[in-house]
Amino acid sequence: MGTQLLAQRPQSEEPNGPSSSRRRCVRRRNDRSVSPPAHRNRSRIVEIAEDGRHLAVDRGFMTVSVEREEIGRVPLDDIGALIVNAHGCTYSNNLVVRLAERGAAILVCGSNHNPVAWVWPVVMHHEQRSRIESQIEATKPLAKRLWQAVVQSKIRQQGAALAALGREGADGFDLMARRVGSGDPDNMEAQAARRYWPLLFGEAFRRDREESGINAMLNYGYAVLRATTARAVCGAGLHPAIGLNHKSEDMALIDDLMEPFRPMIDLMVARAVDAGHTGVNRETKRYLASVASVDMQTERGRTPVFTCAERLAQSLAQSCASGKPVLDFPLAPLPLELPAPPDPAA
């Protein structure tokens, strides 16, 4: 992930005021295990990528240590989600408690960067009970209308991703989105995918979570999106296991609501591939982890992905309570701006 930026220790920080603009991050030369800040205000997706790290709490900071020597720290209030993607890591119970109190999700990854476990808060919203009851009581017709809207948004974003890359065939995706019926009975989502992947990565590409290369990069990017969406879902007082379409998974609702954001990761991976990258490495992980702070277009202007996910989750809670589908999606085309993929020769 290259040289990482870690927050300063508390004793070196200046008080709030005009001089606070002079605060800066310190550069740690020897550690590459902690991802850089994606955005302030609890939007950072912090990844632990090197083996044998110990994570603990000290005066409002998450500390990262190796063999009892501290190598970096991150303000707890900046952390939106923690991704642990390494072997031999240990945690203090206090850290898990402090992150839960702040609404931050913890995601543990297994082989090939696939999520295997989640930790999230028990209560994150003052109306959580009533909102979960509304989820459970939502009628089947409402759930089908909501899923229709999710699929339509995803397909439009797929077309926008292709258009952003200059790929041929992007125009047809808006037509496919308009053909999605309530509950997607004709499985237009799958029809769009069969057309989408060859246009994006070539005829030989097959989406397979167990494969390496491009598939592993997609896995990692989707893990970042899951962490972002998990925090949004829990923050809206919704239960992550009560989905609209994904019925048999503990993360059903998270996987439902992240669908419109997947093309953003697809686009970033395609740009990395076009730049010469062939798989997951420190540089591509750092690049993909920045997705939470990438701006998308919304009816209220430029909005980071993590805020778009929060608005979508909140609008779903409102839809379940009112019985009317009023989901708040980001708009196509995308993107307004994207970070440049890393130079594979660097």
Q: Name which residue leads in pLDDT, 171 or 21.
A: 171
Identify the pLDDT of residue 112: 65
How far is the CA of 26 from the CAs of 61, 64, 189, in angstroms? 15, 14, 45
Residue 104 CA to residue 231 CA, distance in Å, equals: 6
Say which residues have a Cβ less than 8 Å from residue 52's Cβ, sequence separation at least 6: 66, 67, 86, 87, 88, 89
Residue 204 CA to residue 15 CA, distance in Å, equals: 56
Beta strand pairing call for 54-58 and 301-304: unpaired
Structural domains in the chain, sorted by start? 4-102 (3.100.10), 128-322 (1.20.120.920)
Residue 193 CA to residue 190 CA, distance in Å, equals: 5
Residue 78 CA to residue 61 CA, distance in Å, equals: 9
Angle at 293 between CA 27 and CA 9, to 5 degrees: 30
Write the pLDDT tens digit of every residue in 103-148: 888 888 876 677 788 787 776 556 778 889 999 999 999 999 999 9
Identify the pLDDT of residue 176: 97
Residue 307 CA to residue 229 CA, distance in Å, equals: 10
How far is the CA of 200 from the CAs of 214, 262, 330, in angstroms? 11, 13, 21
How far is the CA of 34 from the CAs of 12, 37, 190, in angstroms? 20, 9, 36
Cβ atoms of 44 and 38 within 8 Å: the answer is yes
Confidence of residue 36 (pLDDT cuts 50, 70, 90): very low
Residue 279 CA to residue 207 CA, distance in Å, equals: 14
* Model confidence at 67: pLDDT above 60: yes
**Mean pLDDT, range 59-77, rounded to an integer:** 94
Identify the pLDDT of residue 286: 87
Identify the pLDDT of residue 261: 97
Write the pLDDT tens digit of every residue in 187-243: 999 999 999 999 999 999 999 888 889 999 999 999 899 988 988 998 888 988 899
Alpha helices, H only, 71-139:
93-101, 128-137
Write the pLDDT tens digit of every residue in 292-338: 889 999 998 899 999 999 999 999 999 999 999 999 999 986 655 67
Confidence of residue 6 (pLDDT cuts 50, 70, 90): very low
Q: What is the pTM of this model?
A: 0.77
Cβ atoms of 157 and 342 within 8 Å: the answer is no
